[in-house]
Amino acid sequence: MMKCALLINEELCGKIFGEQMLSDLSGVVEVIGQPQSTVTVDYVMDLIGEADVAVTSWGSIKFEKDILDRARNLKLVTHAAGSVKTVISEDFICRNMLITTAAPAIGIGVADYCMGAIIMGGKRLKEQMLTVDSGGWSCEQSVNALELFGAAVGIVGAGFVGRRLIRYLQAFDVTSIWVFDPYLSEESASALGVAKRSLEDIFSLCDYISINAPSTKETEGMITANLLRMIKDNAVFINTARGAIVDEQALIKELKTGRFCAFIDVTEPEPPSSDHPLRNLPNVLMTPHIAGTISRNMRRIGALACKEINNFVNGRPLQYPVDLGKIDCIA
């Protein structure tokens, strides 16, 4: 039986897997390691020499050369989190090891958030709430409200989140769903039922704009001041990706005009300062990077990780392997 090392901390192990899931996993592999409050290098070094499979997550140790030299039997790393960049190194990439991601499990929650933001942003939720909270009861802001019926929606990034959001939107009578993603082929776009368009088209013509691109060197600062100035009056802007993708100062400047509203779940850096301008604007609903983090989501992550281990042990194809040759293009 293959051996599987749990290289995650105790709290996360409980949230992601739980006793029953770990018990089921023990029927597939020999689970080694008793997760501690913190994952240390010594803990990893003690286990990695006999592990065929390793499970990592947030807070795990990066696989540097000294760890990899000891990992004589290691064939697969199942990352029970989103971005694998926190655990892989150049040495890991050079050794052609397999690694999977749980990003699709997290993406479900993020897409849910985006869909909710689209619907409630169109109703100018924050402004309406402030009116009611202050004792008012006015429908004046409703003159600026949007509905999805007949709307144009723009999605920046057709990864796991973007594709699920597309599926949600197709249940509504939107006029068009436009996508910007340089890695999406015309054939794939057609199969998804969307049209590929430029960032300029999306920002100048769409009623709703959702940023779902990965955080890479290529996407850093991609949403420029010029694009933000193009946003239509009464539009809804949503960012659940990463704060670094957007020119934040330019976004603040445009939002202060009040001509469109925004749902912001991420900033750069995080957390934002206590007096950050986006916290108090009446047309901005800000949340603390919670789009993809809920309790059921955590168990989805565990289920996906266990399924990947099961696939590997039984010689079946992995469902979500990471192409390390394209690591600069992914989150």
| Percent of the chain's residues with pLDDT above 70 | 98
Residue 117 has a CB neighbour count (10 Å cut-off) of 26
Q: What is the pLDDT of residues 3-48, one digit of tens each?
A: 999 999 999 999 999 999 999 999 999 999 999 999 999 999 999 9
* Alpha carbons 70 and 45: distance in angstroms, whole number: 7
SS3 label, residue 155: strand
Instruction: Please give the structure tokens belonging to residue 255.
Output: 């939002």
Task: Answer whether residue 66 shows pLDDT above 70.
Answer: yes
SS3 label, residue 300: helix
Burial class (CB in 10 A: 0-12, 13-18, 19+), 217: exposed
Catalogue all structural domains in the chain, each as residue range(s) with its CATH number: 3-101+295-329 (3.40.50.720), 107-286 (3.40.50.720)
Q: Is the bond into 269 cis (omega within 30 degrees of 0)?
A: yes
Instruction: Please give the structure tokens belonging to residue 30.
Output: 């020999």
Q: What is the pLDDT of residues 136-167, one digit of tens each?
A: 887 765 667 889 999 999 999 999 999 999 99
Amino acid at 49: G
Beta-bridge mates of residue 54: 5, 77
Of the ranges 93-102, 172-181, 273-282, 287-296, which one carries the lowest mean pLDDT score?
287-296
Which residue has 């946003």 as its token pair? 231
Query: What is the longest distance spanned by two Cα atoms in the chain?
Result: 68
Mean pLDDT of 45-74: 97
DSSP β-ladder status, 3-6 and 30-32: parallel
Burial class (CB in 10 A: 0-12, 13-18, 19+), 161: buried
Q: Could you please report the per-residue DSSP string of 221-288?
A: T-B-HHHHHHPPTT-EEEE-S-GGGB-HHHHHHHHTTTSSEEEE---SSSSPPTT-GGGT-TTEEE-S
Q: What is the pLDDT of residues 282-324, one digit of tens each?
A: 999 999 999 987 667 789 999 999 999 999 999 999 999 999 8
* Alpha carbons 104 and 79: distance in angstroms, whole number: 12
When the pLDDT of each residue in the chain is averaged and rounded to a whole number, the result is: 94
End-to-end CA distance of the chain: 33
SS3 label, residue 78: strand
SS3 label, residue 42: helix
* pLDDT for 131: 87
